[in-house]
Structure 1
Amino acid sequence: MSIDETKDFIPVRIAVLTVSDTRSEADDRSGTTLVERLEAAGHILAARAIEKDERAAIAARLRAWIADPGIDVVISTGGTGLTGRDVTVEAHRDVYEKEIEAFGTVFTLVSMQKIGTSAVQSRATGGVAGGTYLFALPGSPGACRDAWDEILKFQLDYRHRPCNLVEILPRLEEHKRRK
């Protein structure tokens, strides 16, 4: 893994969604953690919102952002656990065209190094829909830091080698082109 400094950095436009029944932007530490990190990396905060733990509302927000040509990536935080109100993963899967199964696996490996077997309680997920990348992270600032610092920071950097998600962003919808 390395950054090819001979290539130009390409900022992506990222929307941050916090899923919570209780948070406001003033006390949304996880969303703020993601915003600070993506901006420090040189990316653009395209949108930010908070949705209640309601599957239909989360899916509707995701669909609206997927349809927005000014958004390349959506990162949500919260609602990935096992309790009855944790429906973010289901909402994400309602809109995915393709799931990025390895994202959850790699997140679990990263989490294992930090929190041991408690990592089994997370259902972090990633996917693609409408040419937009979607990632659902747990609601703790630590989990958001881990996901960004160990995975997303690299995969959302065009210069990362041997490969990254940005370089294939223009090809996500090539199946819709006329032949």
Structure 2
Amino acid sequence: MSRIDDSRDFVPVRIAVLTVSDTRGPQDDRSGDTLVDLLQGAGHILAARAILRDERDAIAARLREWCADPGIDVVISTGGTGLTGRDVTVEAHRDVYEKEIDAFGTIFTHISLGKIGTSAVQSRACGGVANGTYLFALPGSTGACRDAWEGILARQLDYRHMPCNFVEILPRLDEHLRRK
């Protein structure tokens, strides 16, 4: 059963937050603010933060830049995961992923179903790994950010979470790049 092992020390991870929006700026980025509050409240480190317009190439470029930064372990984006023509965050993430974490979107949808009913079908939240960095794309609402954090990420980004968590395998995510 899922549990916290108090005999293990908490290990903070360095998280970058990317807000994707054509209309939000630093003064009204409520979803980005929510993620920052949640990750810092849990004891993690805000490693970087940015707001970009819904432009696939620019989003992918920022994700690649952050994946190449040894000071960033995790990137969480918010916004641009819907179905409209301007929603390109998922495509940008998939341009960067080496491996997709398929169950992330499934579990997020399950959590959302309990909160917003069949409207959950409109979310394309996803997760993956690239260059030894975890990447997660969340919808742009504060509720969705909170649901993803509290329902999935708070536990998976906690080294004490058992039976397993993302933090304990973080050092091995890029082992294929180190093989000669």
Task: Determine if the TM-score, normalized by the shorter chain, exceeds 0.5.
Answer: yes
Report the equivalent of 1:154. Answer: 155
Q: Does 1:125 align with 2:159?
A: no
The aligned counterpart of 2:88 is 87
Aligned equivalents of 1:25 and 1:146: distance in 2?
Answer: 22
Note the C-alpha offset of 1:178.
Answer: 3.3
Give the C-alpha shift of residue 10 in structure 1. Answer: 0.2
Which SS does the other structure have where 2:12 is aligned?
Answer: coil
CA offset at residue 130 of structure 1?
0.2
* Distance in 2 between residues matched to 1:63 and 1:40, nearest whole Å: 27
- 1:176 deviation in Å? 2.2
Secondary structure of 2:137's match? strand
Equivalent-residue separation in structure 1 for 2:158 and 2:65 (angstroms) = 25
Partner of 2:45: 44
Give the Cα separation in 1 of the matches to 2:175 and 2:52. Answer: 31
Instruction: Give the CA deviation at 1:175.
Output: 1.5
1:134 maps to amino acid: L
Give, in angstroms, the shift of residue 159 of structure 1: 0.2
Hey, what does 1:70 align to over in structure 2? Answer: 71
**Where does structure 1 lack aligned partners over 5 or more consecutive residues?**
none
Give the drift of 1:173.
1.1
Q: Does 1:28 align with 2:20?
A: no
> Match for residue 103 of structure 1?
104
Deviations 1:57-87 (A, max 9, x none): 0001101100100000000000000000000
Taking structure 2 as the reference length, the TM-score comes to 0.98
Q: TM-score, normalised by structure 1?
A: 0.99
CA deviation after TM superposition for structure 1 residue 177, in Å? 2.6
Shift of residue 143 of structure 1? Answer: 0.2
What secondary structure does 1:65 align onto? helix
Q: Which portions of structure 1, spanning 4 or more consecutive aligned residues, are displaced by more than 2 angstroms? A: 176-179
Give the Cα–Cα distance (whole angstroms) in 2 for the partners of residues 94 and 108 of structure 1. 22
RMSD: 0.6
What is the CA distance between 1:174 and its match in structure 2?
Answer: 1.2
Question: Partner amino acid for 1:96?
Answer: Y
